[in-house]
């Protein structure tokens, strides 16, 4: 089990306990059985990014605090140079870089995503709105029962409460995703 996952799980548990929020309440907020939520806190199950957003909101902190243990510091702007975003590895074949991690009170999360080809994308749901812009390669984006092929320069804006996922076609692909919670 990756050390990063253990640290994130420990931060979540500690904040939940400080705020006197029950495990049952957290599980209900995520729409999960208590056993699944408990697996997040004991780091026996990876925590999807969509769940991290919801957990951070419920705990009243920025997602950056869950990921790094430090609160964002910038209030007027946050400059992130090429290759300097905070790396987030949540799923096999997916690599995320948080491009706004140091900006306080974000209302959206821009993430650079690199994905490897896979058979079937894992479908996820979360609140808000989502925008994907393909930078290189080709990806299939599934939203509900519809699957669309996007190439470099193509983009899609959608309702992420509908089960959705992306997969690279033929070769690794890179896209920008912006999630508004």
Instruction: Read off the pLDDT of residues 37-88 as tens digits, 9 standing for 90 and up.
Output: 999 999 998 887 778 888 998 999 988 899 888 888 888 999 999 988 888 7
Q: Rounded to an integer, what distance in angstroms lies between the CA atom of residue 94 and that of residue 77?
A: 28
Could you read off the pLDDT of 132-147 as tens digits, one per residue?
A: 999 999 999 999 999 9
Domains recognised in the chain with CATH numbers: 3-68 (1.10.260.40), 86-180 (2.60.120.10)
CB atoms within 10 A of CB 1: 11
pLDDT band at 177 (very low <50, low <70, confident <90, very high): very high
Listed residue (21, 5, 119, 139) closest to 66, CA to CA: 5
Phi, psi of 8 (to 5 degrees): -65, -45
């Amino acid at each position: 089990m990756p050390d990063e996952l253990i640290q994130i799980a420990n931060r979540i548990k500690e904040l939940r306990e400080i705020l006197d929020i029950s495990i049952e309440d957290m599980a209900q907020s995520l729409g999960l059985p208590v056993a699944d939520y408990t697996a997040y806190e004991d780091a026996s199950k990876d925590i999807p990014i969509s769940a991290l957003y919801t957990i951070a909101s419920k705990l009243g902190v920025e997602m950056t605090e869950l990921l790094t243990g430090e609160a964002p510091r910038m209030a007027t702007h946050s400059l992130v140079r090429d290759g300097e975003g905070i790396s987030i590895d949540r799923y096999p074949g997916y690599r995320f870089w948080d491009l706004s991690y140091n900006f306080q009170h974000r209302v959206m999360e821009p993430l650079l995503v690199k994905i490897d080809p896979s058979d079937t994308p894992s479908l996820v749901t979360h609140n808000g709105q989502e925008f994907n812009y393909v930078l290189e390669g080709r990806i299939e984006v599934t939203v509900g029962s519809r699957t669309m092929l996007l190439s470099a320069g193509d983009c899609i804006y959608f309702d992420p409460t509908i089960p959705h996922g992306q997969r690279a076609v033929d070769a690794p692909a890179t896209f920008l995703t912006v999630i508004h919670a």
